[in-house]
Structure 1
């Protein structure tokens, strides 16, 4: 807002400088219209008098006023450097907050890349960063649920695999709901409950893996193992940020 205000002041002062140094330009169009009109209006095209001529400033005075206005235009940003640097400092400060916050988590790089993927992170406080991270976890759990649902369709003839995949899909759906509950608690500033729900979301994939282990003939899908690890890491990052909140 301050930068926008400063820009408006610069434009206004620039116009003032132009008006002071070239006053005749501002009335040239009106004067031309009056000369070309067959019946000029006395209101729009008044007849100049000797008194009007006396009021016209000499060129030297106009140049002096123009120079003063230009000097003011130059000195203004030097007197109020905050106008120019406001937005830069704001972004820099928010980047520092993200970096310092991520240093408190188990997976710094994952934290940085995840938060930077959301443009609102640059304007967020610590609770806002926790909210963004929990939201990313919810999207991840939803994606795995969709993946498992598609796998169910491709294993329609394998009753045992279909059963286990259905159990896994249910667990990731529960994880998604746990993230949703955590978001609600964060908005209500019930940070202990928000932490608890993320912990639950991280635990649901374990039940999926155990489902495969119950049947020795089934192989735990490598893609599912990758997704499980990714979700757990996201949960660890979210928990690390929630830990920083005052609760």
Structure 2
């Protein structure tokens, strides 16, 4: 009986230490609520170290980027309006790059954090390019991708915040 209680206490302490790692990590993030909800919703986070949390965040960002890329391609295939088609074509190129850059960042986490950060920065630049193309004059218009662009941007930014803490 004593062993069972001891085992329970040790498991409980281990859980709380990981929960504290998530809380501590997310407090340092630009988007702490999104960081907490994203990491706590992934069961792998419970046993992950800071490098693992970074990879998880980048994987979630990649999933969102892939979904956005598919949305862009779908909108592009249905659009006949020339200016919108041009904007979406640029976004398709940007998201094609993003879905290549994020896996490179994931691969470099813990091996070359500077390179991981560089790849994440490239992805952020591409997201910004996609969003800003819609506001260029003289054909300024509302981007149909703002919500998705913001989601990808925030997830990658959180990953970068965690990367910074790794040194």
TM-score, normalised to structure 2, is 0.91
Match of 1:231 in 2: 152
Cα displacement string for residues 109-144 of structure 1 (whole angstroms, at most 9, x for unaligned residues): 000011112100000001000110111111111111
Q: Distance in 2 between matches of 1:83 and 1:208?
A: 52
1:192 aligns with 2:114: yes
Match of 1:117 in 2: 41
What count of residue pairs does the alignment treat as equivalent? Answer: 167
- The 3-state SS of whatever aligns with 1:137 is helix
Q: Distance in 2 between matches of 1:83 and 1:160?
A: 64
Cα displacement string for residues 151-170 of structure 1 (whole angstroms, at most 9, x for unaligned residues): 01221x22332122011111
Cα displacement string for residues 178-215 of structure 1 (whole angstroms, at most 9, x for unaligned residues): 1111011115x211111111111111122223322345
1:146 aligns with 2:70: yes
Structure 1: unaligned runs, 5 residues or longer = 1-75
Structure 2: unaligned runs, 5 residues or longer = none
Q: Distance in 1 between matches of 2:4 and 2:99?
A: 49
Specify the structure having the higher radius of gyration (Cα).
1
Match of 1:95 in 2: 19
TM-score, normalised to structure 1, is 0.63
CA contact (8 A) 1:145 1:169 kept: yes
Cα displacement string for residues 13-46 of structure 1 (whole angstroms, at most 9, x for unaligned residues): xxxxxxxxxxxxxxxxxxxxxxxxxxxxxxxxxx
CA RMSD of aligned residues (A): 1.8
1:83 aligns with 2:7: yes
CA contact (8 A) 2:39 2:56 kept: yes
Cα displacement string for residues 33-63 of structure 1 (whole angstroms, at most 9, x for unaligned residues): xxxxxxxxxxxxxxxxxxxxxxxxxxxxxxx
CA contact (8 A) 1:141 1:173 kept: no
